[in-house]
Structure 1
Amino acid sequence: MLRLERRSSAHTARAYVATAYRLLDFLSVHRGDLPTPAMLTSLEAADLRAFLARRRGEGLGPAAAAREMSAVRAFLRFVAEQQGEATALPKIASPKRPRTLPRPAAPADALALAEETGALASQPWIAARDTALLLLLYGAGLRISEALSLPARVHPLGETLRVTGKRGKTRMVAILPAVADAIASYAAQCPWPLGPDEPLFRGAKGGPLSADVVRRAVAEARRTLGLSDRITPHALRHSFATHLLAGGADLRSLQELLGHASLSSTQIYTAVDAAHMLDVWRTAHPRA
């Protein structure tokens, strides 16, 4: 159901299934009996609060606890639907997530990170690959999973690129000439055949490039440059959004470029831009 109907990612599906097992294990002790569909559809708010208290006691933070309760609701809704019953879930407030602002990299830092990651690579073609990938993340605002899932048939890149994001949603993003040139340089040097249906970005042994490999390369370059630990591949997407907004982009256009389902997800970048302006004022104004 998660994969086919809700079109959730494999990672989300694994996390939700793991939560369902944790709930069942908890209820077998809490209720003193093996859980049944009838038990699950008759749970009360007190049962869910007890489960949440157990998970918080195990060190779960507010954001992770909120995700856990979202998975619990999805599982209980699924059970009720399988039993042909109404999905009347116990009312329980999810933990409030702390409102944190994205930490974008400065434009110069984003470009320096892409160049330094390439400079530290073991082979010239890997250097070209890493530089091209990071420029794509910053220049087009892609998630790293979206970039790594691109097939080689998108090369050579034009002025736009169709990207498949979360839950299979597609969107069009603009491609800067510098990004297209960097990817063309990588493709020309890549020692592995780039068949149309093969991944565009390849690992050292020719398989699909792993996101963990990219994160480790970025971490090494970040240390070399003395940049904050918060500057990750995903932070380049935040930088893309923040810099576009500072340059005059409207929220609706930015929402489309980022592939956000809700405008509220995009609005957080207005707070980032305001925070930046306050920092500039505090630093520069003589009476700040």
Structure 2
Amino acid sequence: MSDSDKTGPAWGRLLIEQYFILNWDFSSTETPDQQRNRLVTDFLNLNILPLTWFEIPEDLPAQGSASGFRLPTTEEINVILRPYRCEKLRWYAMDPYPDNLCPYLLRTYYSASKDQRAKDNAQMEEWIDTETFGEEAEWAVLDSEDLFNFGPAPDSWRRIYDILPELAGPLLIQPFCSSDGELLVKRVSEPSDDIFKNMYRYFKRDLAIAKADDPAAWLHERNSVIESTATPLQKVATSTYMFVADEEAFRTGRLLVLYLDGFRRVIREGRVDGELDDIGSIIGTWMETNDLLEYATLSERYRVDGDLGRKLYQLDEVLADL
């Protein structure tokens, strides 16, 4: 498919567009760009979303297809939606993560040097490789200087969420019912959810085994033991992962790989070691086991002493009897 054929659905059919039109304030003193930026941030920070913001599949219960979804007016299209992003971006947003397994490869850097640009383009072709991405390359490779030239800053990849908030990760598939009967969809699982509750028993068991097997490590390197043993919890907390072709990736030949929770927070990150892995092996491992790259570094916030680590690992309860 050529870029000119990449057009989005009818206006208002995308989730962020529903959020815009349902929350837009025409009387606001903010500029339209300021209001859109704020609403994108607010949207990305939501965990619970009403199912009525979606186009409702026919096989869902009738009460789920009620009145919350609506089409935008001509004024809303022209003032709110059309200035936000081009049709090519709307095409990308139409069906993010269609197989829930293949990651995105985002290119964020385009050298000003013509010769270097040619070398970088050749490197991109090697990374993309049809055997690695196959048919998924059409949607999974984000390589457009006009859209994704975010510059050399280390965290410039985060700008992707400003224009494609859908890439924050696949929403949890199964809707659930609120106390008043409203059908809702969740962005991420919480430690209080059943999927985590069932894991803490095994986490506690594995920590007891680690403590018995190496008392010295438990005494002197307890945090490292806990963080290593908590890898299954980190896996479940990972909503998505992404490869980034940034300036350092082109300079070193090592793509950045990021494992992220549903709120765009890094759980683990590292550079692909070509002697140990390639894109294909990393994707294959995720498809088969959801395992994270072993040499990817745990982020500070997901360490034992980090705010997200303390919440995820539930150590007060888990360590109570150890």
Structure with bigger strand share is 2
The reply to whether TM is greater than 0.5 is no
Whose Rg is larger?
Answer: 1
Taking structure 2 as the reference length, the TM-score comes to 0.26
Taking structure 1 as the reference length, the TM-score comes to 0.29
